[in-house]
Amino acid sequence: MLSVMSCFLSVPGRLSRLGRVGVLAGGVSLACLASAHAADSGNNLTLQLLDRVNTLEEQTREMRGQIDQLTNQVQQQNAAMSKQIDDMNFAMQQRGHAAAPAVPASVTAAAGVTPAATPAAARRSPDDLLKAGNDALLQHDYATAQADAQQVLSGPKSAKQVDAQYLMAQSLAGQKQYRQSALAYYDTYNRAPHGQRAPSALLGVAATLVALNDKASACQALDKLSSEFPAPAPRIKAAELVYRKRAKCS
C-alpha cells in the first residue's frame, strides 16, 4: 500500500519531466503500479512466512511437552518394575533355604567334584529338615521353619509329615497368619487323630481361634480336646485352662 501511495505522490514530478507521455488516465504509470504490486506481494509473503514460523514454534513447544510427559511415564514405569523385581528377589531369598544353591561349573571342576554329584550331596533328609526347621523356629526365623516344613510335606509320604505339618502350623502362627495356622493345626490332627501330636494340634487350633477373636469356635476346639484326651500332658492341661479363660468358655 505504501508503494502505491508513493506512486501517486510522484505523479507531479513525473508530469513536469515527461508531460503526458506514458501516463494513464489516473495519472499513475503502469511501471509504478507494477513495482508497487510486487512490493506488496513481497510484504504479504514475508507476513505468511513469519506466521508459518510462529506456527512451527508453537507445534515444537507442544511436542516438547508431550515428550516430557512420555519421559516421566517411562521413568515411573521403570521404577515400578524395579520395585517388583526387588520384591521378587527378596521373596526368593526368603525361600532360598528350600532349594540347594547352584554351584558354578568352574568351582566344582577346580574342587574335583562333578556337577551331577553336587545336588545329591546337598540333599537333606526329612530328619535333617525337621531339625533345622525347629532350630529356626526357636530363633524366631519363621520363614525358614516354614520352608523346611514345606520340603518335608512335598516329599514322599511318611510319618514325618505329621511333624512337618505341626511345624508348618507353628511357623504360620509365629508370622501371625492365624487363619492359615488354624487350618494347619487342624490338618495335623486329621493326619493322626490319635497320634502324639493330636492334643497339641487341637490346642493350637484353639489358640489361633482366640487370636482371631473367634471365641465360640475356640471353645468347641477345647471341648473336643477335653473329650478325646481327658488326661493330656500337664502342660497341655494348663494351657487348656488358660485358653478357656481367655475365650470365656462356659
Q: What is the mean pLDDT of the chain?
A: 76
Range 182-199 average pLDDT: 95
The more confidently predicted of residues 121 and 112 is 112
Q: Tell me how many domains the chain contains.
A: 2
Report the distance separating Cα 70 and Cα 55, nearest Å: 23
pTM of the model: 0.53
Q: Could you read off the pLDDT of 75-110 as tens digits, one per residue? A: 777 676 666 666 665 655 555 444 444 444 443 444
| Domain membership flag for residue 72 | yes
Closest CA to 97 of 145, 167, 139: 145
Shared-domain flag, residues 83 and 169: no
Q: Which residue from 70, 166, 44 is spatially nearest to 174, judged by alpha carbons?
A: 166
pLDDT digits (tens, 9 = 90+) for 138-179: 999 999 999 999 999 999 999 999 999 999 999 999 999 999
Specify if 97 maps to a domain: no
In this predicted structure, the answer to whether residue 49 has a pLDDT above a threshold of 60 is yes
Give the separation between CA 178 and CA 208, rounded to whole angstroms: 5
Amino acid at 243: Y
Contacts of 144 (CB under 8 A, 6+ apart): 97, 132, 133, 136
- The answer to whether residues 173 and 230 belong to one domain is yes
Task: Classify residue 117: in a domain, yes or no.
Answer: no
Q: How far is CA 43 from CA 16, 31, 180, 196, in A?
A: 31, 19, 84, 105
Domain span including residue 55: 2-89
The pLDDT of residue 39:
57
Return the pLDDT at 32: 53
Residue 139 lies in a domain: yes
Which of the listed residues 67, 89, 111 is the one where a domain comes to its end? Answer: 89
